[in-house]
Amino acid sequence: MSRAVLSAGTNVGDWTAHLRSVVDGFADHLVAVSHVFTTAPWGGVDQDDFHNITLIADGPYSPSQWLAFGARLEQAAHRTREIRWGPRTLDVDVISVTDDAGRVVVSDDPVLTLPHPRAAERAFVLVPWRQIDPDATLWTPDGMRAVDDLIDALDPDEVAGVRESGPLVGIGR
């Protein structure tokens, strides 16, 4: 058994349907799902705002299996990878995985680096995560850090730009 923290975002097409597909896809394993948060695009590409959720899931999966699970959902949403940080129908990232002994998986594998190498810098991941797990921590090269502390270290304008839009209809925490 492992626990995964996952982040999903979309800014192309029916964002509600895309995010719901992630919640439905992980439904048998969901522990919690955040409300939807809307944010300006990250990475300098001109595009529409993103709609993001963070999920916590438990299941009998390895980190690579969590990644494959998310990739199948992206494929079902006809995700293409044309421009780095560009528009997308769906993006599902594995942020962190804890193994069955409660240890955070740390890996520098180029296919799946864990924890996600930029998670500590991204308010659109951290703010929704804090909503569903106020005591969340993230392993960083400086050791375990409270998600609250990581958010406090970010540019306040970036944090303020993560706007809560409310729950997906019919989906609670």
Q: Is-contact 49 40, C-beta < 8 A?
A: yes
Which pLDDT score, from 0 to 100, does residue 70 have?
Answer: 94
- Residue-wise pLDDT for 98-111, tens only, equals 999 999 999 999 99
Buried (b) or exposed (e) across 129-163, using 16+ Cβ within 10 A?
bbbbbeebbbbeeeeeeebeebbeebeeebeebbe
Q: Report d(CA 144, CA 42) in Å as an integer.
A: 25
Q: How many CB atoms lie within 10 A of CB 50?
A: 22
Q: Is-contact 24 33, C-beta < 8 A?
A: no
Q: What is the mean pLDDT of the chain?
A: 92
Confidence bin at 173 (pLDDT 50/70/90): very low
* Topology adopted by domain 2-166: Alpha-Beta Plaits (3.30.70)
- Residue-wise pLDDT for 10-24, tens only, equals 999 999 999 999 999
Q: What are the extents of the domains in the chain?
A: 2-166
- Residue-wise pLDDT for 26-37, tens only, equals 999 999 999 999
| pTM recorded for the entire structure | 0.92
| pLDDT(83) > 90 | no
Which pLDDT score, from 0 to 100, does residue 44 have?
Answer: 73
Which pLDDT score, from 0 to 100, does residue 88 have?
Answer: 85
